[in-house]
Chains A and B, each alone.
Chain A
């Protein structure tokens, strides 16, 4: 059987070397562009997912989120639990948070959003909200009577620019009245406005734990959540196991587990868009290869008939066309990889700016391999069909028709 492969290679190599150079270059370029198209959209989606994950970890959940156990509204003895968590190997720092419903009033506008109390000394070690101050400053610790607003809550003077109902463009230094769900009412000076670009986080407000205790009228040793940042090289799953092993009774979730089902559905939707894009690219590849091989085989009907007449097996001739398809695909894939590499370098230097952040497309090796395999498989099928069909023609009919 190896003779057939040898002869097929012999024919294919000479056909490629002595056939139309322009045609070959064009075919390779088309496959290269198809490959790039197959990789680019998934890489942008991967970059967007990375951005979302980073925002989730940095602004919402930390690496691990500890929430009240089933049936409980609060984490009791939060101070003790915080100390326990901080002692677990792999934990860099934990921050207790207490969220409470409130109605904000300023500039004759009123908005109801949650306010979150935190200890700034812990918080800056766990989240990165303090790095996103668009105006003013983050808490330095111990402040009272001051509040930090998310950019969407602070809003704009022109309501048409607002994404949600807002406080009409409240600025640093202005006063905001906050009516808490427990009936307490306080007036705060806006110390800063943060802009994480996360729609959820930027529509909240932050106060210090001291302010929370003043609202509650005493020491608060409860929390609605504890966010945990793990050491740089630590695995959140292992740290979670260690936390459970250390006797943490509450609900412990890694950031990935904490992502809501709605977000999971969004990611699934991205996956579907990805698949559709890949299928469309493959269809284009199949059509191109099918046309290329059909035209080539049609133009070489006489040559195919001659080969059959002198005793070259049909399967050998089909294989010679498949080898040409493989060569075109191989060169096209190499060209595509070069273009993907160039695009990767370009987007690293000039990231894509989306409303919810800066996206650097991420080219995943697994995706490169998967798309390459699909492209080759689809091209082989697309090349096989016309070659198989034309080699079945009667020898004399093909010689006379050509």
Chain B
């Protein structure tokens, strides 16, 4: 379903060349929950940014559901993000001027749904993530765990083919973290949602179907959670 071939990302800082990704190749099947681990600076977040079309690669290819996404124009990539990809950031990245409900409704409106239909879908998702009672709150009025669950609901509202999560529990305490990871697991299991998640927490390994371990911008190991 997702095919990454020889993906490279090179940053130039003056005369210094930093190879954040140095020829990463991997495939992800539909409905898989794949964890990307590795030490700091190994290229985990960079991989997610490139697959999520937030940053252009220096080389290589990405195919999602048979679409060569790097061949898309800037506008087409934006549309692809809206319709096919759900992205969850480490720091939630909610729009501060919008309530929980409005944050979730927004991508649905952009997709062309009416406000009522979008709100119905958003309310369903907010109930699923356990925030049915907090829909009218602004992000600043919510805890980190609650904000991250809203971010999950927002990422799911357009029924994406791929959910990307960049260390979604990095800013959460243990119980909030467990709640969010359980949520991902249930979404993956019950909806068959494909998930690619960056994490450096050992306790998250049990949630993943497969783990890709990066080091120095390359795939160091790849296998089921028990193997590496």
Contacts and interface: CB of A to CB of B under 8 A. Distances in A.
Given A303-B96, A306-B93, A396-B49, A311 B110 contact: yes
B82 A399 contact: no
Interface string A1-41: 00110110011001100110000000000000000000000
A16 to B, nearest CB: 9
Contact of B95 (A306, A311, A314): A306
A310 B98 contact: no
Interface centre among B93, B107, B110, B155 (most CB of A within 10 A): B110
Interface string B66-88: 00000000110011111101010
Contacts of B52: 309
B95 A316 contact: no
Contacts of A260: none
B78 A311 contact: yes
A395 B55 contact: yes
A312 B78 contact: yes
Given A3-B111, A18-B138, A396-B54, A311 B82 contact: yes
Interface in A78-95: none
B154 A310 contact: yes
Interface residues of B, number: 33
A7 B82 CA distance: 13
A302 B93 CA distance: 8
Nearest to B52: A309
Contacts of A11: 95, 97, 106
Size bracket of the A interface: 20 to 34
B101 to A, nearest CB: 11
B78 A396 contact: no
B110 A3 contact: yes
Contacts, number: 78
Given A10-B109, A395-B54, A312 B82 contact: yes
Contact of B78 (A15, A302, A314, A399): A314
B107 A310 contact: yes
A14 B112 contact: no
Interface centre among A302, A311, A312, A396 (most CB of B within 10 A): A311
Contacts of A390: none
A106 B197 CA distance: 107
B167 interface: no
Nearest to B109: A7
Contacts of B79: 311, 313
A307 interface: yes
B102 interface: yes
Interface in B77-128: 78-83, 85, 87, 89, 93-98, 102, 106-107, 109-112, 115
Interface of A: 3-4, 6-7, 10-11, 14-15, 18-19, 302-303, 306-314, 316, 394-396, 399
Given A3-B109, A14-B98, A312-B106, 4 more contacts: A18-B138, A309-B89, A310-B82, A313-B75
The 7 closest A-B pairs by CB, nearest first: A311-B82, A311-B81, A306-B93, A18-B97, A395-B54, A3-B112, A7-B110
Interface of B: 49, 52, 54-55, 74-75, 78-83, 85, 87, 89, 93-98, 102, 106-107, 109-112, 115, 138, 154-155, 158
